[in-house]
Amino acid sequence: MNALIDLIAQYGLLVVFVTVLLDQGGLPIPSYPPMIVASALAVDVGNSVWPILAVATIATVLADVLWFAGGRRFGVRLLRLMCRLSLSPDSCVTMTRDIYARWGAPSLIGAKFVPGFAAVATTLAGERRTSLFRFVFYDGLGALLWAGLAVALGAVFHETVNELLIRLDELGRYGLLLIVGAIFLFVAYKWWQRHRFLQEIKMARITGAELYGLIASGNAPVILDVRSAEERARGWIPGALFVTSVVDAPLDPRDEVIVYCDCPNEASAALLARALKKRGFGRVRPLAGGFDAWRAEGYDFEQETVY
């Protein structure tokens, strides 16, 4: 345990930089504790905490710019990859799209404080072709606030932090095991949360080819589009109804209903389909791959004409 404290005391800025970079890069490594401890130790010895704030902010923006560049280059494909690897539920993508569509780049200021939002907002900003200057400006403000809170906690409560470190040091190797155990429990909880969500949306899907066959045969089902208005502007499946909740569409429980979105794992579509099943709809399925898969397979879609 002494070695860990000495490491932070001697290489605090490096430890903060690496942990923040890895944390914001997508790995389940908590970066707030090192920032708090480094700030508390700095105050205890009379050093300034401003370098810690600067390093944490730079590491955050650097990681975010990499996600931003990836979003600009790979778009939806990177979002889907993120949600396959992430421990956060995929529904955060839909929530993030809605917030970003409404507030744009300024939403990045508070992104780090909204669970599930920061994980996707930076990539989404790149996908939405936000200018690099605008992105760095608002993301930098958000990073400064986020890192500033950790530094402030360490500085204000440095005596409490120091007392906790002493207690952990007295525990010796058990103190280190306690820290490792806490990190393990955090990762396990996030994994369980994601696993539970994926179980909730687990149901049969319909492929684009199957849906096209139904439409071509004259047996078109009721098609519900649950995307945001901004996403719908990219186009929609012919005949689809734009809805945001179960009560938006005039449906009959005897109808065959297909729901689609463009989020990873068809999360939004599956959640609405599940809600419809609870209301007595027996034939409800999400569209596998959503609108992006439908368009990629070359099927017809409608789009508003821009004059």
pLDDT at 195: 63
pLDDT digits (tens, 9 = 90+) for 68-77: 888 887 766 6
Cα atoms found within 13 Å of the Cα of residue 33, Cβ hemisphere only: 10
**From 15-29, 140-154, 262-276, the region with the lowest mean pLDDT:** 262-276
Query: Domain extents for the chain?
Result: 2-200, 208-296
Whole-number Å distance between alpha carbons of 68 and 66: 5
Q: What is each CA distance from 178 to 12, 18, 31, 189, in whole angstroms?
A: 21, 22, 17, 16
Q: pLDDT-derived band of residue 67, with 50, 70 and 90 as boundaries?
A: confident
pLDDT tens sequence across 19-65 = 899 888 777 777 888 888 888 888 887 888 999 999 999 999 999 99
Q: How much is the pLDDT for 307?
A: 44
Does the pTM surpass 0.95? The reply is no
Which numeric CATH code is attached to 208-296?
3.40.250.10
pLDDT at 268 over 60: yes
